[in-house]
C-alpha cells in the first residue's frame, strides 16, 4: 500500500459522495493518497459489520459518505445509514478502536472541495494515530497474533 503506512477505506454512495469525489478529481484538487474508495449504491447499503470487517482486515480508518439528509437518491437510505452509523461510532471504543478512526459524513455531488477537505482532514487525523492495533481482535496478517480471539470482542465471530 502506498502513500504512507496507514490504510484508509471509504464507502461512498454512487449518487452524491462518489460523484463529489469525481468532482474533486475533475477540479484537480490534490489529496493525500491513503484513501481507497469502494462504490456502493447508497450508504443505506453499508452494513456496520462491513465497517468492522474492514478494521479487522487491516484498515486504519473508515470513512462513510453519502447524500445530505433529504437528498438521498433512494429518498430515505441515508436516514437509516445515519442511525446505524451513529450507533456504530458510539460503539467503536467497545471494539477497542479509537472513535476518530471511524467517521461518516454527507457530501453532495457538487461538493468536490468538501470531499477533498474531508479526505485531507481524515487522513491527517489518522496519521498520528498510526496503525490500528486490534488487541485480541483476531486475524491480521501483518500484525502479531495475540492468540485466539479473546471472548466476544471480535465482531467477525459474532457475525
Partner 1 sequence: MRIGVFVCQCGTNIAATVSTERVASAAMALRDVVHAESIQYTCSDPGQRTVIAAAHKYALDRVVIAACSPRMHETTFQRTMAQAGINPFMMEMVNIREHCSWIHSDMEVATEKAIDLVSMGVAKVRGQTPLFSSHVPVVSEVLIIGGGVAGIQAALDIADAGMPVTLVERGPTIGGNMARLDKTFPTLDCSSCILTPRMVEVKHHENIRLMVNSEVEQVRGYIGNFEVDIRKKATCVDEEKCTGCQICEQKCPSEAPDEFNAGVGETKAISIAFPQAVPLVASLRKEYCRLYIKGKCGICKKVCPADAVDYEQEDELHTEKFGAIVVATGYELFDWRQAYPHYGGGLYPDVITSIQYERMLSASGPTGGHIQRPSDGAEPKEIVFLSCVGSRDESIGRPLCCKVGCMYIAKQAILTREHIPDSRTYVFYMDVRAGGKGYDEFYRRAQKEAGAVYLRGRVGKIYPRGGKLVVMGADTLVGENVEVEADLVVLATGIDAAAGAGSLAQRLNIPYDQYGFLSESHPKLRPVETTTGGIFLAGACQGPKDIPETVAQASAAAAKVIVLLSHDELETSPMIAEVNHMRCIGCFKCREVCPYHAIEEQGLRDGRRVAVVIESLCQGCGLCTVACPPSVISLRGYTDNQLIEEVTAVLR
Q: Which of 16, 42, 64, 107 binds partner 1 (CB under 8 A)?
A: 42
* Crossing angle of the two packed helices 112-129 and 17-26, in degrees rounded to 10: 100
Contact positions with partner 1 (CB under 8 A) in 59-78: 59, 70, 73-77
As given in the structure block, the three cell numbers for residue 5 are: 503506512
Count of residues engaged in binding partner 1, rule: CB under 8 A: 46
Alpha carbon separation from 43 to 53, 57, 127, 128, 158 (Å, rounded): 16, 21, 25, 28, 22
Q: How far apart are CA 60 and CA 45, in angstroms?
A: 21
In angstroms, what is the minimal distance from the CB of 79 to partner 1?
Answer: 10
The yes or no reply on residue 138 touching partner 1 (CB under 8 A) is no
Question: Of the ranges 41-49, 87-95, 121-129, 147-155, which one interacts with partner 1 (CB under 8 A)?
Answer: 41-49
In angstroms, what is the minimal distance from the CB of 153 to partner 1?
Answer: 19
Q: How far apart are CA 57 and CA 46, in angstroms?
A: 16
In angstroms, what is the minimal distance from the CB of 92 to partner 1?
Answer: 18
Q: How far apart are CA 53 and CA 151, in angstroms?
A: 17
Q: How far apart are CA 133 and CA 124, in angstroms?
A: 18
Q: Which of 6, 17, 18, 103 binds partner 1 (CB under 8 A)?
A: 18
By the criterion CB under 8 A, which residues form the site for partner 1? 1-3, 7, 9, 14, 18-19, 21-22, 24-26, 28-31, 33, 36-42, 44-48, 50, 53-54, 57-59, 70, 73-77, 80, 84, 116, 141
Amino acid at each position: 500500500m502506498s502513500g504512507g503506512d496507514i490504510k484508509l477505506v471509504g464507502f461512498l454512495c454512487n449518487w452524491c459522495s462518489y460523484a463529489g469525489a469525481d468532482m474533486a478529481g475533475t477540479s484537480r484538487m490534490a489529496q493525500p493518497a491513503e484513501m481507497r474508495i469502494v462504490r456502493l449504491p447508497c450508504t443505506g447499503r453499508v452494513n456496520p459489520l462491513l465497517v468492522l470487517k474492514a478494521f479487522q482486515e487491516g484498515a486504519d480508518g473508515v470513512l462513510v459518505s453519502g447524500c445530505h439528509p433529504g437528498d438521498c437518491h433512494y429518498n430515505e437510505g441515508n436516514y437509516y445509514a445515519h442511525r446505524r452509523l451513529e450507533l456504530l461510532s458510539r460503539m467503536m471504543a467497545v471494539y477497542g478502536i479509537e472513535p476518530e478512526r471511524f467517521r461518516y459524513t454527507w457530501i453532495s455531488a457538487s461538493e468536490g472541495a468538501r470531499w477533498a477537505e474531508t479526505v485531507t482532514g481524515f487522513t491527517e487525523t489518522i496519521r498520528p494515530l498510526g496503525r490500528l492495533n486490534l488487541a485480541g481482535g483476531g486475524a491480521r496478517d501483518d500484525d502479531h497474533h495475540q492468540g485466539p480471539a479473546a471472548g466476544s470482542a471480535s465482531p467477525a465471530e459474532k457475525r
